[in-house]
Structure 1
Amino acid sequence: MTAELTVGERIAWYRQRRGFSQEVLAGFVGRTADWLGKVENGRIELDRVSVLRHIARALDVTLGDLLSEPSLMEWTPDSGQETVPALRAVLMDYRQVSGLGQKPINDEPVALDVLREDLDDVWSAYQESRFGYVTNRLVGLIPTMKDAASLYDGDDRRVASGRLALTYQVAASVLTKLGEADLAWGASDRGIREAQASQNPVIVGSLLRSVAHSLLSTGAFAEASNLVQDTADYLEPHLKRGGSSLVSVYGTALLVGAMAAARNEDRSGSRDFLDEADRAARRLGGDHNRLWTAFGPTNVSIHRVSTAMELGDVQIAVDLGPDLDTSAVPTERRVRHSLEVARALSTTNKRELALAAILDAERIAPEQVRYHYLSRHLVQMWVRTQKGKPSHQLAGLAQRLNVA
């Protein structure tokens, strides 16, 4: 119902539904009625998630309600016509919880090497921002992985459980990208159980990061930050003898903590997480993609830009972001950084450069740009506040993002 409204217009819509005046809602979030009026009219750009979280809580709605999430997944040759609803049915199958009536699909489990290839396929596609393909592929892959975890025994069963856990993690990751925060949480919850069954600290750490990321996407910033600290404490004893995969999982978890702390307006906490992540990246000695973490110095720098924007340090983001070379990291990371740079440029009234950044990102990863709230928010705001007719490029982009 509110999909075609700007963030400010959605705030006004929910405020009116709650029967609040501007003065009352502004008071709840420690702002003035004049400020809120400018937000609702689009005269102030409101994209800091920490502020949106306060408004959402005052209105008793979710962050997704204000961000117009989730997004409808378009049918493509990659996705077919079985997308999020089919994946939801797999994740919410009552037999997974009760164990009643659950029978393996096959008499024999799929070979562990084949499962490894399948897992690498979906993670690689995710990092290439092929979200439709990943969603469709998971509909069949999760039951196959579950079969293996139930049919194998001994060490093989632990390996199968670990691969099922990482399959749930990629499900949580892609669902977060699509704005399906609650469903992503469910996938992370399933995954942590299987990770614990694997008895592999690297996989347990990876799924704890997934749970923290799911908490972050639902607006539970303090809880996400605390969980990351617990995860770091859990992994730290293993670091001395751990390999590059463990260090990468450790470092990437710290980056989630930095974002959670920034959105919780905890400047020192965010800085501490980033500094520790930087030490882990220097220990690796370069950019790597162990266990699909894309961890290294570049990803730490990407998060320095993102956390600066969340904390309102726009000039830091403008100084660092545009010149950062992200060619060493996967597509998903490069494009996410481009959207952050576009936000920073837009905030400093450099809309042409911001538009160019989003258009470049769209050429690389159209699905990621289409579904991310930042690109939709920025383009919609530009169209609404444009003096005169929007440019051909902006109008075309707005139409492709379904925000025209």
Structure 2
Amino acid sequence: MSKRTGKEVDPRDRAFGKRVADLRKARDLTQQQLAALLNGRTSSWMSQVERGIQPVNRLDVLQEIADALGVSTQALDPSAPVPVPPAPPASVQSNDLDGARLVISGHPALGALLGTGDAEPIPLERLSEQVDEIWELTHQAEFAAVSVMVTELVPQLERAVRTVAEAERPRTYRLLARAYQALAAAFARQGDSRASWVSADRAVTAAELSGDVLLVFAGVYRMVHAFVRLGNNSEAEYAVTAAVNALSQRTDLTPPGLSVLGSLHLAKALVHARCGQRAEAREELAKARQVAEQIGEDRNDYNLEFGPTNVAIQTVATAVDLGDAGEAIEVGKTIDASSLSPERRGRLLMDLGRAHAQRRHLGDAVECLLRAEEVSPETVRTHNAVRQAVKELVLLAGPNAPRELTDLADRTSAME
């Protein structure tokens, strides 16, 4: 029973208070120091909370306590596992794509043009398996492994399209286009926009020679993302608008074609969001959502991972780009991305971390970014938007920045 009120203390309030006290002590804060981080609270009020005398039922107060402690609001739940600082992540292989850059810096098959070099027949089945493997590595954001593979694979494919039998040439050009698209995606995710542009351009050319029209449009999708990362929004809008207008004229699109069309709508939404064009971005998201509903499932045609889930993920990203953090967080709560690639799952967590950072939710932001790092470490540690979010969080936390955040800042070079 509480001496102050003469009422029995609710066991749930007592358990909540103990959780707050445990987290406070783990952060090496006194009740007075923690109260000072809250808006208009006193050490006496803090003491009553920790003893279960003062219930905390308002969501805004819960969020304020979580932010002051540098944890998520979920961590305040007494039934949740006690949060502990994560072990330092294992070092990951360098994500350099230097070998891949050398491959696209010149013509990969000069010997074949002269009729010299390797004249042995190229086993297309093996090359096809390697292209699939490159895409798997790209979706996992294992860029160093991608670089190692393409240094041999791309020259082999470039030789193959010039030496295989005529009947096999379309298929071989298709493999070459897919390999260049994987490179474009990998370069874009690492932030090398110019190399991504070169790779996407070569992918479009090879796709046209393959006779696979949808593969051409998928290459344009990669090119649009390269333009966006270069900051060339006018070029990006022109390219994606032309592609959407052309493909929309087809009324007989199969699910793969719809996947490409829906992905282009998402790319157009991205362009508008980066330009701050709120209404236009939401219009493109609505069109993409309509296409996804028409397909009715998540697919991975042309390695685009298009479907209802990816549309929802892009909705989160668009909301963050437009500064609508509340919407991003609410939509993010409804998404189950477990069936998608590590890259997509990591991207969702990254954007949710950015959204919480915009709302100054320190603990939730750090938790999302750390989870993103677990899923896709190389992407998180090299992404400019993550660096900016981490830097803002460190400045927000000041001298009370939790160790998890300062370690993340070191791994992302956020303060350099």
Note the alpha carbon deviations across 1:112-164, whole angstroms, 9 max, x for none.
Answer: 22222111101111112212211222222111111111112434111111111
- Which one of the candidate residues 134, 146, 154 is aligned to 1:134? 146
Q: Does the residue aligned with 1:388 lie in a helix, a strand or coil?
A: helix
Note the alpha carbon deviations across 1:211-254, whole angstroms, 9 max, x for none.
Answer: 111111111223212211211223234450x4322221221121
Query: Conserved in 1, the CA contact under 8 Å of 2:345 and 2:375?
Result: no
- Does residue 223 of structure 2 align to residue 211 of structure 1? yes
Note the alpha carbon deviations across 1:57-99, whole angstroms, 9 max, x for none.
Answer: xxxxxxxxxxxxxxxxx995586xxx42322111011566x89
Q: Does the residue aligned with 1:342 lie in a helix, a strand or coil?
A: helix
Which residue in the other structure is 1:252 paired with? Answer: 263
- Which one of the candidate residues 295, 313, 317 is aligned to 1:302? 313
Query: Conserved in 1, the CA contact under 8 Å of 2:269 and 2:285?
Result: yes
Q: How many residues align?
A: 326
Structure 2 CA distance for partners of 1:159 and 1:75, relative to 1, 3 Å: farther
- Which one of the candidate residues 182, 188, 212 is aligned to 1:176? 188
Query: Conserved in 2, the CA contact under 8 Å of 1:298 and 1:328?
Result: no
Query: Conserved in 1, the CA contact under 8 Å of 2:112 and 2:159?
Result: no
- Does residue 300 of structure 2 align to residue 289 of structure 1? yes
The equivalences for 1:221-300 within 5 A come to 221-240=233-252, 242-300=253-311
Query: Conserved in 1, the CA contact under 8 Å of 2:111 and 2:117?
Result: no
Moved runs in structure 1, 4+ residues, more than 6 A? 98-101
User: AA paired with 1:351?
Assistant: L
The equivalences for 1:135-214 within 5 A come to 135-214=147-226
Give the whole-Å Cα distance in 2 for the aligned partners of 1:172 and 1:319.
Answer: 32
Structure 2 CA distance for partners of 1:102 and 1:164, relative to 1, 3 Å: farther
Give the whole-Å Cα distance in 2 for the aligned partners of 1:112 and 1:247.
Answer: 28
Give the whole-Å Cα distance in 1 for the aligned partners of 2:108 and 2:356.
Answer: 49
The equivalences for 1:2-401 within 5 A come to 83-94=96-107, 105-240=117-252, 242-401=253-412
Query: Conserved in 2, the CA contact under 8 Å of 1:346 and 1:354?
Result: yes
Note the alpha carbon deviations across 1:171-220, whole angstroms, 9 max, x for none.
Answer: 11111111111111111111111111112112111111111111111112
Give the whole-Å Cα distance in 2 for the aligned partners of 1:102 and 1:358.
Answer: 51
Identity of aligned residues (%): 27
Structure 2 CA distance for partners of 1:78 and 1:381, relative to 1, 3 Å: closer
User: AA paired with 1:87?
Assistant: A
Give the whole-Å Cα distance in 2 for the aligned partners of 1:227 and 1:94.
Answer: 26
Give the whole-Å Cα distance in 2 for the aligned partners of 1:141 and 1:77.
Answer: 21
Query: Conserved in 1, the CA contact under 8 Å of 2:97 and 2:147?
Result: yes
Query: Conserved in 2, the CA contact under 8 Å of 1:108 and 1:151?
Result: no
Range with greater deviation from structure 2 (314-323 or 177-186):
314-323
Q: CA deviation at 1:374?
A: 1.9
> Based on CA coordinates, which of the two structures has the bigger radius of gyration?
2
Q: TM-score, normalised by structure 1?
A: 0.75
Give the whole-Å Cα distance in 1 for the aligned partners of 2:360 and 2:380.
Answer: 21
Note the alpha carbon deviations across 1:325-369, whole angstroms, 9 max, x for none.
Answer: 211221111111111111111111101100000111111121111
Give the whole-Å Cα distance in 1 for the aligned partners of 2:323 and 2:414.
Answer: 26
Which residue in the other structure is 2:81 paired with? Answer: none
Which residue in the other structure is 1:10 paired with? Answer: none
Q: Does the residue aligned with 1:386 lie in a helix, a strand or coil?
A: helix
Give the whole-Å Cα distance in 1 for the aligned partners of 2:169 and 2:116.
Answer: 15
Structure 2 CA distance for partners of 1:243 and 1:153, relative to 1, 3 Å: farther
Query: Conserved in 2, the CA contact under 8 Å of 1:201 and 1:235?
Result: no
User: AA paired with 1:215?
Assistant: F
Which 5+ residue runs of structure 1 have no aligned equivalent? 1-73
Which 5+ residue runs of structure 2 have no aligned equivalent? 1-89
Structure 2 CA distance for partners of 1:77 and 1:308, relative to 1, 3 Å: closer
RMSD: 2.3
Q: CA deviation at 1:402?
A: 3.0
Q: TM-score, normalised by structure 2?
A: 0.73
